[in-house]
Chains A and B, each alone.
Chain A
Amino acid sequence: MKSRFLSSSVSAIVTLLFAAYASTSYGADEKITVMNPAIAGKIAPRAPLSPRLDTLEGKTIYMVDNQWGGPEGAYQLLEEMQAWFTANMPSVKVIVRRTKDNMFGDDPALWKEISEKGDAAIIGTGQ
């Protein structure tokens, strides 16, 4: 009798433990609340563009390859754009340049040159 009581008690405890464990899996219609894994991004400070030109006729355009994809990546493409200007807008002077550093770097000397000698710029990448 005593052992039967013990056996039923153990059985009840096991059932309760299982119920506690099972409570972590949810019924099909049960609504649960979970935490959000996403993190809000920080919006970059806004900045305006510079005024546009009235026309490109007679202007100097710098075409800059930032070397993403290697030195032949965008350079050849820019040369084809240069050829288009030569054929279709010959008054436009085009200067094709590569940045001094790779795509992750800057080239302040070139930007300064463009601001002093150029009227507009086209940035190209090989990607």
Chain B
Amino acid sequence: MSRHARDIEELGIPAVATSGINIVSYALGYDRTYNNGMPIRYVAFPFPIAGQPRSVHKAYVNGTDQLTGKPLMTAVIEALTVPLTDKEKMTDTAVTAKPEVEPRFLQPDTEEKLQQLFKDKEWTDFNPIVLPTEERVKKMLAGTSHKPDEVISTIRFMPGNREVTVEKVAIAAVMAGAKPEYMPLLLAVATRAPFGNSTSSMANTIIVNGPVRKEIGMNSGTNAMGPYNDANSVVGRFFMLISRTAGDYKNNVNAWESLGNNMQYNSMTIAENEEMLPKDWEPLHVQMGFKPTDSVVTIGTGWTYISSLGEVQPAYPAPMLIRDYMRSLSALGSGATIFVDPTVAGLLKDVNGYQTKQDFSKWLSGNVEKTVASYWGNGVIMTSNNAMALQGLEPYAGWSKLRKESPDSLIKPFNNPQAINVVVVGGAIQTTWFVTDFRLNKGVLVDDWR
């Protein structure tokens, strides 16, 4: 919204940007300071906007601007006609705003007060952290050959071009309770920070492959997804902490997921159980082109997971139920990640005949169906894909047409089998599985960060 308003202003046309008051608050603060730079004029509606009936929208228009309290349309007219202030013309000192500075050390204080400070600053998950003294951070830095001041990534969305250094990663690692030997993995994970952040309630998964799993004692077996292992727990918590600190995520400032997502506490951090893969089923990182001896971390972004609850029933085999449950997923980008216990992987291979993970992905792509109305009924799908439909791009244009003509028609929304991933994890206790909507990013080579 702000970017579009700026594009138009730069062509000499006065513009006003309108949105819900929550988005306008972000635009006036964070976005203006770090991203846009132009003092765009805003008018704010109550929220939510999308999904409300026309009567509500009419009431919004005839109501008041949530910023100024003036009649809303008066505020719109004034935004386009009231002469600019010096600040809006940038003829005052705002032209040369002072750069932000963060001191390397915080003011000395007692342990109790510092623990409270970290909570007040929203640098934690509100559980106690290990305070990052210089000595602890130095020990953590011994876990990598990389220099403390090396910039490993720049966080641009949303938090304002913040440069993440090796030292900042080590600080968050100390806070999470990590061991120095975790550092190469944590640095690789940090290159993908921060975690998903939207008005929808996003989550992530962290999947580790290769020798580093054993080196730091990750759990890929029984209870791999539960709170039963130091490395799984700490690495997941680290991703949350580096997102809150380096990413500067603050509730109702630049983080406003309507419900939030409980998976953000640990980001479903697991190691793939490579030792129990069926023959010819490749580990995830090998599927991506890495060598089996490479250590790789893959981070996925999504919202949802659905459990099989119980064990596979021979009368209705796993592929059928996985197919059924996948109908509930949005199919955004055709993305899905199926986490299966080694026993399920064995059944899929030996009983159901999928010789490779890719074979199973192809079958799911060709067999998961949902109604076209249900597909477009998802707001993220509509926001992301409707523009492509309007541009005539297939299959979205055809699906959009079908929605209007025959909404109960079935489509195959997971149209790209390469975006459907299968990961083997678990202790072979029960033939259970999860389907999720995580879309996986390209894996990051942990060995680069040793």
Hey, which bits of chain A sit against chain B, CB under 8 A?
Answer: 25-26, 28-56, 61, 64, 66-74, 76-77, 80-81, 83-84, 88, 98-103, 105-108, 111-112, 114-115, 118-127
Contacts and interface: CB of A to CB of B under 8 A. Distances in A.
Contact of A36 (B16, B35, B45, B105): B105
B33 A43 contact: yes
25 contacts: A37-B123, A39-B162, A39-B245, A39-B248, A40-B100, A41-B33, A41-B100, A43-B37, A43-B100, A48-B88, A49-B38, A50-B12, A56-B80, A56-B81, A70-B382, A71-B382, A84-B62, A99-B4, A114-B8, A114-B11, A120-B14, A121-B15, A123-B17, A124-B18, A126-B50
B58 interface: yes
A33 B90 contact: no
A55 B81 contact: yes
Q: Which 3 A-B pairs have the closest CB atoms?
A: A69-B50, A41-B160, A70-B382
A11 to B, nearest CB: 28
A38 B105 contact: no
Contacts of A51: 12, 14, 83-84
Interface string B23-61: 100000000111111111100010111110010011011
A91 B386 CA distance: 33
Given A34-B133, A81-B61, 19 more contacts: A32-B131, A32-B133, A35-B104, A35-B105, A37-B245, A38-B102, A38-B248, A43-B100, A44-B34, A49-B9, A50-B10, A74-B50, A77-B49, A81-B73, A81-B76, A83-B58, A102-B386, A114-B8, A127-B20
Interface stretch (B168-176, B202-210, B344-352): B168-176
Contacts of A35: 104-106, 132-134, 137, 167, 171
A102 B48 CA distance: 19
Contacts of B314: none
Interface of B: 1, 3-20, 22-23, 32-41, 45, 47-51, 54, 57-58, 60-62, 73, 76-77, 80-84, 88-91, 94-106, 108-112, 114, 118, 121, 123, 131-134, 137, 155, 159-165, 167-168, 171-172, 175, 199, 241, 245-246, 248, 379, 382-388, 390-391
A35 B104 CA distance: 6
Contact of A123 (B18, B133, B160, B383): B18
- Most chain A CB within 10 A, of B32, B62, B171, is at B171
B77 A56 contact: yes
Contacts of B246: 37, 39
B3, B33, B80, B175 — which one has the most chain A CB atoms within 10 A of its CB? B80
A77 B98 CA distance: 39
Interface-central residue, A30, A67, A99, by most chain B CB under 10 Å: A67
